[in-house]
Amino acid sequence: MPAARKPAALRAHDHDRCIEDALAAAADLCRAQGARLTPMRRRVLEILWQSHKPLGAYAVLDILAAEGRRPMPPTVYRALDFLLAHGLAHRIPSLNAFIGCSAPGAHRDGQYLICRNCGTVAELTDTGLAAELGRTARAHGFAIESVLTEAVGLCPACAGTGAGAA
Amino acid sequence: MPAARKPAALRAHDHDRCIEDALAAAADLCRAQGARLTPMRRRVLEILWQSHKPLGAYAVLDILAAEGRRPMPPTVYRALDFLLAHGLAHRIPSLNAFIGCSAPGAHRDGQYLICRNCGTVAELTDTGLAAELGRTARAHGFAIESVLTEAVGLCPACAGTGAGAA
DNA sequence: CTAGAAATTGCAACATTATAACAATCCTTT
DNA sequence: AAAGGATTGTTATAATGTTGCAATTTCTAG
């Protein structure tokens, strides 16, 4: 089988297009599921997509506040909960932060590559890894339902610039 | 190669022995590294080992408080930091909680099986999984330094009791 | 053995992340 | 237009984690 395409977060790309595509995909997915992508939810998703770095809930809140809306924490958390529930965003537990999902279709059991230097996060969706772990767990009588993998290291851009010596 | 031994957390076992062994291993490891397993650190590790369920920092603090010592949060967090730094305990980010390490020798890049019903966590250390992810990431130019995998599901005990229908 | 240096713990205050409970508003359907 | 459900606003608070400095203990060197 062909190697999976390199995640956009790890290569040069037209990021405006990246955002556009993500929002369009989200709109489609919500329409298909009868879910309401309200202005607040859409705006939060757009904010998460402004970069490939995850944002904390309060960072999202600060951006919204700077725009004139002055939402309180629950409003932001509810929008984030909606996005998580519909597979449009992910939470990175080790960072207490959120990021737009790059694969709203196959968003389960992803692997996150977190650059410890610049904070960029790339999402992989190698289903084989989760399957392999699932087999091992099953052998021990444990029935896995979902898997989350967080890898920390250096992204291509940072690996090349001697960031490792920091 | 032979199947790895089933984690103690997933089978009946003499848990007092479990605790004893863990503390003895910790003492050995600290002696070997010239690290000081002070009474506070030792007691916190012992508390983490009271069960195979992870404990939040404030839960540890409450247990210490009930014993007469009345440590402040920084004291507990510092003890936990020491245990993490020396591979004697792990943090489970999705739970904001800590658990004793079952494999102080090979404690890196572990996989945690979290029972969503009873909270038990079993640690696996399949180095092949991290290696495989490392190869994929490398192909994309990302240099992984550490990996943490959290799987949620049902442990053997809970899977048998219809907990799934909850 | 004792003085200085380093590591550990105590302590007070505070920062960050997340949630509970209830009111107001909006949106759809009839 | 009115009912019902979903969404958002608002207030307050809970849970988790950190900073900075002082006091104490432990180690090391002379």
Please write the tens of the pLDDT for every residue from B21-61: 999 999 999 999 999 999 999 999 999 999 999 999 999 99
Q: Which of B136, B137, B156 sits opposite A141 (nearest CB)?
A: B156
Closest chain B C-alpha to A121 CA, distance in angstroms: 11
- Give pLDDT, residue A2: 60
Contacts of A142 (CB under 8 A, 6+ apart): B10, B113, B115, B122, B151, B153, B154, B155, B156, B159
Tens digits of per-residue pLDDT, A113-157? Answer: 999 999 999 999 999 999 999 999 999 999 999 999 999 999 999
Task: Provide the CA A74 to C1' C18 distance, Å, integer.
Answer: 9
A131 vs B: CB within 8 A: no
Which nucleotide is at minimal CA–C1' distance from A82? D7
- Position of tokens 């960031």? A163
Whether the beta carbon of B56 falls within 7 A of nucleic chain C: the reply is no
- Give pLDDT, residue A50: 98
Residue A136 C-beta-side C-alpha neighbours within 13 Å: 24
Chain A window 19-58, residues with Cβ within 7 A of nucleic strand D: 35-36, 38-41
Task: Provide the CA B76 to C1' C5 distance, Å, integer.
Answer: 25
- Report the 10 Å Cβ neighbour count for B55: 24
Tens digits of per-residue pLDDT, A16-55? Answer: 999 999 999 999 999 999 999 999 999 999 999 999 999 9
Structure tokens at A138: 């099953």
Indicate the pTM of the whole model.
0.94
Tens digits of per-residue pLDDT, B114-130? Answer: 999 999 999 999 999 99
pLDDT at B166 exceeding the cut of 50? no
Cα gap B45→B80, rounded to integer Å: 8
- Give pLDDT, residue B110: 96
Confidence class for position A166, pLDDT limits 50, 70, 90 = very low
Is residue B53 packed enough to be buried (19+ CB in 10 Å), middle (13-18) or exposed (0-12)?
Answer: middle
- Report the 10 Å Cβ neighbour count for A131: 12
A126 vs B: CB within 8 A: yes
Cα gap B89→B48, rounded to integer Å: 8
Tens digits of per-residue pLDDT, A91-120? Answer: 999 999 999 999 988 779 999 999 999 999
How far separated are the first and last CA of chain B, in Å rounded? Answer: 38
The SS3 of residue A137 is helix
Selected residue with higher pLDDT from A25 and B4: A25
| Disruptive mutation site among B142, B149, B150, B158 for chain A (greatest number of A CBs within 10 Å) | B142
Q: Would you report the helix, strand and coil content of chain B in percent, each value rounded to 5?
A: 45, 20, 35
- Give pLDDT, residue B2: 61
Closest chain A C-alpha to B131 CA, distance in angstroms: 11
